[in-house]
Amino acid sequence: MKFFIDTANLDQIREAQNLGVLDGVTTNPSLMAKEGISGEENVMKHYKTICDIVDDNVSAEVISTDYEGMIAEGEKLAKIDPKIVVKVPMIKEGVRAIKYFSSKGIRTNCTLVFSAGQALLAAKAGATYVSPFVGRLDDISTDGLALIEDIRLIYDNYGYETQILAASVRHPMHIIECAKIGADVMTGPLSAITALLKHPLTDSGLAQFLADHAKAAGTQK
C-alpha cells in the first residue's frame, strides 16, 4: 500500500519523508491556499519544491474546467518535474482530458470521485489514480469505505490498472480499513500516518525494557 500525504505544507512533507514511508504527496487548490500559495509562478515553484523533497508522485491539480484549458494547464504542470501527476476533476471535460493525458503518457489522478460509476469512467479513460473521498462521504452519513470496496470489486472484475487512491482519509482506522479492502494508495494528514505508530503496550513495554536494562547496568561490577 502506498502512503501519500495530503498537504502542501513543506514541514509536514519533510517530516513524513524523513520517516521513510512516504510514497507521494497530494495537494488541491484549498491546501495550496491554506499555505498562502497563489499566483501561477508561486504555485509552480511550490510544486517544484515539493518534488525536490519526495521520491515520486506529486499530484498537482488543474484549475480549468474546460478541455482546452485543462490540457494546457496539465501539460505545463507535467513539465515542472517527472514526479508530477496531473490531478483532474471528475467532470465530462475532465474525463476527456484524462484520456488525452493517458495517450501522451502523462500520469493522472482523477479527483472528486464519490460513486462507483465515476470510478469506472475514470478507469476507462485511463487514469493512473482514482481518488474516492472517503471522509467527505462519511461526513454526509454515507459509507465511504463501502465505495472503496465497490471500486475494488469492479476494477478486479475487469483487471483495470487504475490505482485506487483512498482520499479524504481522516484517521488511522480509515487507513487500516482501506488496507484490508485492498486500496492501492491512501492519502491523509500526517496525524493519521503517525497515529499508526501508537500503542500503549509499546510505550509501557519499552519503558520496562529500559528500566530493566538500567537496573542490570547499575548492579554490574
Known catalytic residues are 87
Measured CA to CA, the distance from residue 45 to residue 47 in angstroms comes to: 5
| 29 vs 69, beta carbon nearer ligand G3P | 29
- Closest CA relative to residue 132, chosen from 156, 164, 158, 94: 164
Q: Which residues bind ligand G3P (CB under 6 A)?
A: 6, 26, 28, 133, 135-136, 167-168, 187
Q: Can you count the helices (H) and strands (E) in the chain?
A: 11, 8
How far apart (Å, rounded) are the C-alpha atoms in residues 51 and 54?
6
The helix (run of H) or strand (run of E) holding residue 7 is: none
Eight-class DSSP state of 167: B
Residue 114 CB, nearest distance to ligand G3P (Å)?
A: 11
Closest approach of ligand G3P to the CB of residue 86, in Å? 14
Contacts of residue 8, defined as CB under 8 A and 6 or more positions apart, other chains included, come to 25, 27, 31, 32, 34, 35, 37, 46, 50
User: Minimum CB separation from ligand G3P for residue 22, in Å?
Assistant: 15
Which H/E stretch holds residue 169? none
Taking the least distance from each CB to ligand G3P, the nearer of 85 and 208 is: 85
